[in-house]
Chain A
Amino acid sequence: QQQVKQSPQSLIVQKGGISIINCAYENTAFDYFPWYQQFPGKGPALLIAIRPDVSEKKEGRFTISFNKSAKQFSLHIMDSQPGDSATYFCAATFSNSGYALNFGKGTSLLVTP
């Protein structure tokens, strides 16, 4: 059973636009929510992460918004660039699991020039 639901499955955005990817979870024990970026032929790499005690975290063009009551979180990529074209995975984890990651199914992002 998928513990983290991610949408959309794919996304096409023009250069300079905003890319938005959404995730939802059920397990309230989750206490760490990272986003991973994966390029073809490579392993996933940590992009940005948030803990549920804050509602937003921003790093450069990347922002996570977190809604604890709705059990939802999202990734916003501002001023999207062709180099951002990749697959993005949200994940959730908690201490009793050794912080093993439960991934969403991924969003394939294409940023057109």
Chain B
Amino acid sequence: DAGVIQSPRHEVTEMGQEVTLRCKPISGHNSLFWYRQTMMRGLELLIYFNNNVPIDDSGMPEDRFSAKMPNASFSTLKIQPSEPRDSAVYFCASSFDNRPSTEAFFGQGTRLTVV
């Protein structure tokens, strides 16, 4: 398996534009997580899905952020409209069966720059 695949790897956009980040989890994994990494706040959980259903979105910063998981092999994180403070590295991670001993595998991240 190629691991968790995120696209794009880098995104530069202008303030006010819509941004869509994409994630393909590892086949067979049934939990998917979106994290955001910044120097100031570190790694923060934004939302997680279990069996394609959003379980906890309390980390989503505001209504400008939305996430979907239409099927077991694809998820998107959308920011509309984007703002400079959204600049960060966004990671998608997946794991199997919600067990603690099950490793969460991270993608390589999408570095988002909003100018």
Show the binding face of A for B, using Cβ within 8 Å: 2, 31-32, 41-46, 49, 51, 89, 93-95, 97-106
Determine the distance from Cα of A32 to Cα of B101 in the docked complex, in whole angstroms. 8
Determine the distance from Cα of A18 to Cα of B91 in the docked complex, in whole angstroms. 30
Q: Which of A49, A100, A103: most chain B CB closer than 10 A?
A: A100
Which chain A positions have C-beta within 8 A of B91? 43-44
Determine the distance from Cα of A32 to Cα of B107 in the docked complex, in whole angstroms. 22
| Chain B residue at minimum C-beta to C-beta distance from A51 | B100
Q: Is the CB of B43 within 8 A of A99?
A: no
Q: A89-B43, A100-B48, A103-B42 are in contact. Are A95 and B104 (CB under 8 A)?
A: no
Q: Does B60 contact A (CB under 8 A)?
A: no
Show the binding face of B for A, using Cβ within 8 Å: 4, 31, 33, 35, 42-45, 48, 50, 55-56, 91, 93, 95, 98-109
Q: Is the CB of A99 within 8 A of B98?
A: yes
Q: Is the CB of B42 within 8 A of A43?
A: no
Determine the distance from Cα of A28 to Cα of B1 in the docked complex, in whole angstroms. 36
Q: A98-B55, A100-B56 are in contact. Are A44 and B43 (CB under 8 A)?
A: yes
Q: Is the CB of B45 within 8 A of A102?
A: yes
**What are 13 of the A-B contact pairs (CB < 8 Å)?**
A31-B100, A43-B107, A43-B109, A45-B106, A94-B100, A98-B55, A98-B56, A99-B98, A100-B48, A101-B104, A103-B42, A105-B42, A106-B43
Which chain B positions have C-beta within 8 A of A102? 45
